């Protein structure tokens, strides 16, 4: 029952926050109006600016911001104990993350859909614009590298997930073309495509798992010809294409279909959690400690690293890019910003709560092992060359033949006992904790373990894929804006996209000790950069309110927190790990981002007193368009 009580209590708190604090922010602080002309109307081009129903924008926004951030972060952080992770996820989303996301969305909508980086040039100073856009570019390259690696690792570990994720692309294009040409609703075709994708999950699990390792030379796992590297490259080629296509052709229909698929999977997980909680088979307190007493000596300290390890799910600077990069160009009514901005963040927090419970109580139901000619236990892989045996899942047993449950099962994923250590943790291991713990929840409602693993693996890969292609499009916008400001050739969308995927791929493949192995090493850099970006975005939003003589504490205090704590974490990593260990790529990114952040903060301090009650320079009038288009400025 403890698992069920914790889950329901967290979800009720999030729901109450939406109708109280979220409503106050929407109506009193930002004064949203249904009569305001939004960028999707004023600048409609049917490429990037497209008025879109709230449900479709919400689906795009949620799947883009969620990705695997609220999965990987909590899956790593629970080794400190599930209580700190849970508290940060719930309270952080309500008081910081949701405010950040909605503020970025609203301010962008009131500035013709410009990114927060572009808006910083008028809110603070022209130099602040260049600095912010530079931070955005660095942050997005890290996002592209991380999320590309996450999907590639899932494909390599769980070949049964590959088919459904790739089938989603042509299905989305088909319904996008149908809707655009006929002007019809996406509702019916998206339900048909949803059925197609779940049929693809079934086929992928039982008939057509796509395992690249079976087709590659023996001994290639440590070189460039390994499945993770190949999948990463294929994903980035897809991202290039997705970034330059009109949003109605792939981005919107794919995100709508994916959101429906993900909501079904999340619904099944919650249902399984409820059944397992009521039956007593999922016991949170028996599976993991609220606050761990066996933290490895080489692990980073919980302060400040809890707050950067869990970024998405509590607060994420990447969300300001989605809010101001794509969603603000699609929202059809200003009042939808509460649902899209604040509501989607709280739903992401709910996802993170489920992840925390799956990685503790779910894993405690039994550690899984995969048998495919050889044994693959707890997220590690053993390849059997030239064979394609049927894959089965079962539970790991101890020396006495009993199934490992509770904390014994949990320790097969989180080796915090003697003989383990932080250095032994890996990205695949953490992904396995959620995927296999989630499959245990699904087994409580009668789904076979094998099918449950496939459903959850597809959920994770699909989340990451939507974030990956959205991040590529956002990086294209940022590089184009930088190119326009600096006179660089990246003003061309094809050049900007090529640069985005090229550098992102290079980081993903070569940042680790071997090609494609840098996922966990990159995560601290991603988390700290992400939170610093959130702090800078909230600083810009604070200036927006300050210039209008409105209350600023609701943004200013979180902004300072999200600049100081991640700066502390990144400085710790630089001094303690990256510089002594000679990890020069991380050193360059870390120092560069810190310098840019400090410089931008100084720029803000210099104009703070002059900005109070003084509106920023307004955008020039638009030519053409509806007669009341000035409302969009």
- pLDDT tens by residue, 561-593: 999 999 999 999 899 988 998 888 788 888 998
Average pLDDT (101-121) is 94
Please give, one letter per residue, the 3-state secondary structure of 474-540: HHHHHHHHHHHHHCCHHHCHHHHHHHHHHHHHHHHHHCCCCCCCCHHHHHHHHHHHHHHHHHHHHHH
Query: The tokens of 384 are what?
Result: 């059997």
Percent residues over pLDDT 70 in the chain: 90
pLDDT of residue 517: 64
pLDDT of residue 383: 39
- Cα 272 to Cα 67, 82, 358, 399, 447: the distances in Å are 22, 20, 10, 29, 10
Is residue 63 very low, low, confident or very high in pLDDT (cuts 50, 70, 90)?
A: confident
Of the ranges 387-396, 476-485, 562-571, 609-618, which one carries the lowest mean pLDDT score?
A: 387-396
Average pLDDT (424-434) is 76
Of the ranges 54-58, 297-301, 377-381, 548-552, which one carries the lowest mean pLDDT score?
A: 377-381
Q: Which pTM was predicted?
A: 0.88
Q: What does the radius of gyration of the chain's CA atoms come to, in whole angstroms?
A: 23
Q: Count other C-beta atoms under 10 Å from residue 630's C-beta.
A: 14
Q: Which H or E element spans position 392? A: strand 392-395
Q: Specify the length of the chain in residues.
A: 633
Of the ranges 340-344, 365-369, 376-380, 503-507, which is most confident? Answer: 340-344
- Cα 389 to Cα 209, 290, 375: the distances in Å are 11, 41, 12
């Amino acid at each position: 029952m403890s698992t069920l009580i914790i889950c329901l209590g967290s979800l009720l708190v999030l729901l109450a926050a939406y109708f109280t604090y979220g409503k106050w922010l929407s109506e009193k602080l930002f004064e949203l109006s249904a009569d305001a002309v939004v960028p999707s109307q004023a600048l409609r081009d049917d490429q990037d600016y497209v008025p879109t129903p709230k449900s479709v924008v919400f689906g795009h926004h949620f799947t883009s911001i969620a990705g695997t951030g609220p999965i990987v972060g909590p899956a790593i952080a629970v080794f400190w104990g599930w209580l700190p992770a849970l508290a940060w996820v719930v309270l952080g989303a309500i008081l910081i993350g949701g405010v950040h996301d909605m503020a970025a969305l609203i301010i962008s909508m009131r500035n013709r859909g410009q990114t927060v980086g572009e808006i910083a040039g008028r809110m603070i100073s022209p130099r602040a614009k260049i600095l912010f856009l530079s931070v955005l570019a660095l942050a997005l390259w890290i996002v592209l590298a991380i999320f590309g690696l996450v999907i590639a690792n899932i494909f390599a570990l769980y070949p049964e997930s590959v088919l459904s994720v790739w089938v989603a692309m042509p299905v989305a294009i088909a319904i996008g073309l149908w809707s655009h040409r006929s002007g019809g609703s996406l509702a019916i075709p998206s339900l048909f495509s949803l059925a197609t994708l779940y049929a693809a999950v079934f086929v992928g699990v039982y008939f057509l798992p796509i395992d690249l390792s079976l087709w590659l030379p023996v001994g290639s796992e440590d070189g460039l010809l390994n499945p993770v590297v190949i999948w990463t490259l294929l994903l980035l080629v897809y991202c290039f294409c997705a970034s330059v296509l009109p949003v109605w052709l792939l981005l919107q229909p794919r995100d709508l279909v994916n959101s429906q698929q993900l909501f079904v999977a999340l619904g099944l997980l919650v249902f399984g959690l409820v059944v397992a909680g009521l039956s007593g088979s999922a016991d949170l307190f028996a599976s993991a400690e609220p606050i761990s007493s066996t933290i490895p000596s080489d692990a980073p300290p919980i302060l400040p690293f809890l707050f950067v390890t869990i970024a998405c799910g509590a607060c994420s600077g990447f969300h300001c890019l989605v809010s101001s990069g794509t969603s603000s160009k699609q929202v059809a009514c200003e009042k939808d910003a509460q649902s899209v901005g604040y509501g989607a963040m709280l739903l992401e927090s709910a996802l993170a709560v489920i992840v925390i419970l799956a990685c503790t109580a779910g894993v405690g139901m039994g550690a899984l092992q995969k048998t495919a000619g050889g044994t693959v236990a707890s997220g590690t892989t053993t390849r059997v060359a030239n064979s394609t045996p049927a894959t089965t899942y079962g539970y790991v047993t101890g020396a006495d033949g009993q199934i490992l449950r509770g904390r014994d099962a949990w320790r097969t994923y989180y080796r915090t006992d003697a003989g383990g250590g932080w250095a032994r943790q890996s990205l695949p291991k953490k992904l396995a904790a959620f995927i296999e713990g989630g499959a245990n929840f699904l087994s409580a409602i009668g789904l076979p373990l094998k099918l449950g693993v496939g459903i959850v693996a597809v959920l994770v890969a699909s989340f990451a894929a939507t974030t990956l292609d959205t991040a590529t499009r956002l990086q294209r916008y940022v590089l184009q804006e930088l190119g326009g400001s600096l006179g660089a050739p990246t003003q061309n969308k094809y050049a900007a996209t090529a640069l985005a995927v090229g550098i992102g791929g290079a980081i993903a493949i070569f940042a680790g000790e071997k090609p494609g192995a840098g996922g966990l090493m990159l995560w601290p850099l991603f988390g700290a950069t992400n939170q610093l970006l959130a702090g800078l975005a909230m600083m810009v939003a604070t200036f927006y309110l300050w210039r209008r003589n409105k209350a600023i504490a609701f943004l200013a205090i979180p902004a300072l927190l999200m600049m100081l704590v991640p700066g502390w974490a990144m400085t710790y990593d630089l001094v303690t790990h990256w510089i002594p260990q000679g990890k020069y790529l991380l050193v360059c990114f870390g120092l560069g981002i810190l310098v840019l952040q400090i410089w931008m903060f100084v720029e803000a301090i210099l104009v703070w007193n002059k900005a109070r009650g003084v509106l920023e320079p307004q955008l020039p009038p638009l030519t053409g368009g509806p007669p009341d288009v000035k409302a969009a400025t």
